[in-house]
């Protein structure tokens, strides 16, 4: 009789474990979305508050829309996303859930914050950049869940960035691999560029004025050689100061920007002018029988040819 009771007890325990295993399997199945699940991503850019080249960041306000099939994936699973390029600066990131409707398969966030961008400033101050927002799904790999560009993508008409012109926007879906898994990414980018007229007036025109003023040193009477040398020296110091002011708003780079190349051309021009003026001063004090007017004229002609050659090289390197 006791053996029969033991057999019944063992049978009950086995059935109990089988039942628990089935329940656990059902729960795990519910925690996992269906394979090849698609989440459509939409985006509405409401504001771009500023672009900071020095900190390699920009500020953007936007609404993020996720549309999904609730029979394939749950609302909590859709919430598992990451904004990859968040900037680590003083501005706090704000992600507020605006609407969440699992029955209709809609999830909307408002995002306000600063984001990183590795700006290419080789053509500064006439460069073009693409401001990107990178959204990565972090819940399951791309064999289960993938992003798709939705139909609701827009940049608000009121968006305006001081000192920049807005261009076209574009979207892209890609995958990012981590070890043996790949995760889906939604990438939104909008082009911005500097106005050419603004770049010329603010950056090129002052340098051109400095160059012309330095060349005018050859028109100062030779008898005033000291004043000629002082004029060129003051202009050179002013140009260097202006260059440092430009660099203060730029990130450190291991290449020359177009502005740096302009400064290099001016440095070579000023070096030539200083050398020529100093040489004429030397001839004036040491050799009285030299035709200084002819030497001064020839030095000016050489300067014009040198400046033209450097200018052509500068245009080719743009």
Q: SS3 for 118-185, per residue? A: CCCCCCCCCCEEEEEEEEEECCCCCCCEEEEEEEEEEECCCCCCCCCEEEEEEEEEEEEEECCEEEEE
First and final CA of the chain: distance in angstroms? 99
pLDDT at 16: 42
* Greater model confidence, 221 or 288: 221
Question: Which residues are CB-contacts of 191 (< 8 A; sequence separation ≥ 6)?
Answer: 128, 129, 130, 131, 166, 167, 168, 169
Of the candidates 169, 173, 176, the residue with the CA atom closest to the CA atom of residue 132: 169
* R_g of the chain computed on alpha carbons: 34
pLDDT tens digits for range 294-307: 888 898 899 889 98
**What domains appear along the chain, each with residue ranges and CATH number?**
35-194 (2.70.170.10), 197-316 (1.20.58.390)
Residue 57, number of CB atoms within 10 A of its CB: 24
Paired with 186 in beta bridges are 135, 173
Phi, psi for 258 (deg, rounded to 5) = -60, -35
pLDDT tens digits for range 19-33: 434 433 433 334 667
> Residue 42: in which H helix or E strand, if any?
strand 37-52
pLDDT at 104: 94
How far apart, in whole angstroms, are the C-alpha atoms of residue 73 and residue 145?
Answer: 9
* HEC assignment per residue over 47-84: EEEEEECCCCEEEEEEEEEEECCCCCCCHHHHCCEEEC
Task: Please say if the pLDDT value at position 215 is more than 90.
Answer: no
The SS3 call for residue 244 is helix
Q: What is the mean pLDDT of residues 173-177?
A: 95
Q: Which of 30-34, 158-162, 218-222, 290-294 has the highest mean pLDDT?
A: 158-162
Task: Please say if the pLDDT value at position 242 is more than 50.
Answer: yes
Torsion angle in degrees (nearest 10) through CA of 112, 93, 95, 132: 60
Q: What is the mean pLDDT of residues 62-78?
A: 95
63 pLDDT tier (thresholds 50, 70, 90): very high
Q: What percent of the chain has pLDDT over 90?
A: 45
Distance between alpha carbon 175 and the CA centroid of its chain, in Å? 21
- pTM for the whole structure: 0.79
Lowest mean pLDDT: which of 136-150, 175-189, 248-262?
A: 248-262
pLDDT at 25: 40
pLDDT at 267: 87
Asked whether 258 and 125 are in contact (CB, 8 A), the reply is: yes
Q: What's the whole-number average pLDDT of the chain?
A: 85
Q: ∠ CA(49), CA(52), CA(53), 5° rounding?
A: 145
pLDDT tens digits for range 73-98: 999 999 999 999 999 877 778 999 99
Of the candidates 124, 139, 165, the residue with the CA atom closest to the CA atom of residue 78: 139
Lowest mean pLDDT: which of 163-167, 193-197, 240-244?
A: 240-244
């Amino acid at each position: 009789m006791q053996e029969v009771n033991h057999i019944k007890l063992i049978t009950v325990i086995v059935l109990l474990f089988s039942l628990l295993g089935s329940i656990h399997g059902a729960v795990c199945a519910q925690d996992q979305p269906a394979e090849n699940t698609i989440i459509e991503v939409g985006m509405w850019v409401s504001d771009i508050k500023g672009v900071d080249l020095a900190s390699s960041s920009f500020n953007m306000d936007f609404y993020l829309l996720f549309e999904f099939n609730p029979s394939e994936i749950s609302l909590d699973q859709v919430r598992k996303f990451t904004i990859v390029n968040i900037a680590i600066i003083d501005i706090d990131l704000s992600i507020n859930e605006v609407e969440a409707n699992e029955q209709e398969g809609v999830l909307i966030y408002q995002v306000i914050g600063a984001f990183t961008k590795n700006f290419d400033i080789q053509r500064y101050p006439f460069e073009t950049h693409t401001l990107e927002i990178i959204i990565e799904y972090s819940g399951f790999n791309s064999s289960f869940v993938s992003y798709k560009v939705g139909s609701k993508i827009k940049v608000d008409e009121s968006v305006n960035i001081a000192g920049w012109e807005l261009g076209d926007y574009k979207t892209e879906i890609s995958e990012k691999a981590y070890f043996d898994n790949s995760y889906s990414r939604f990438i939104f980018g909008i082009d911005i560029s500097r106005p050419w007229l603004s770049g010329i007036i603010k950056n090129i025109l002052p340098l051109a004025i400095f160059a012309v003023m330095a060349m005018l040193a050859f028109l100062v009477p030779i008898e005033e050689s000291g004043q000629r040398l002082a004029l060129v020296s003051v202009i050179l110091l002013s140009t260097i100061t202006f260059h440092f002011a430009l660099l203060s708003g730029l990130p450190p780079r291991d290449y020359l920007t177009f502005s740096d190349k302009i400064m290099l051309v001016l440095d070579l021009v000023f070096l030539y002018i200083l050398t020529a003026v100093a040489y004429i001063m030397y001839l004036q004090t040491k050799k009285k029988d030299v035709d200084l007017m002819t030497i001064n004229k020839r030095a000016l002609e050489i300067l014009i040819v040198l400046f033209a050659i450097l200018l052509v090289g500068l245009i080719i390197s743009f």
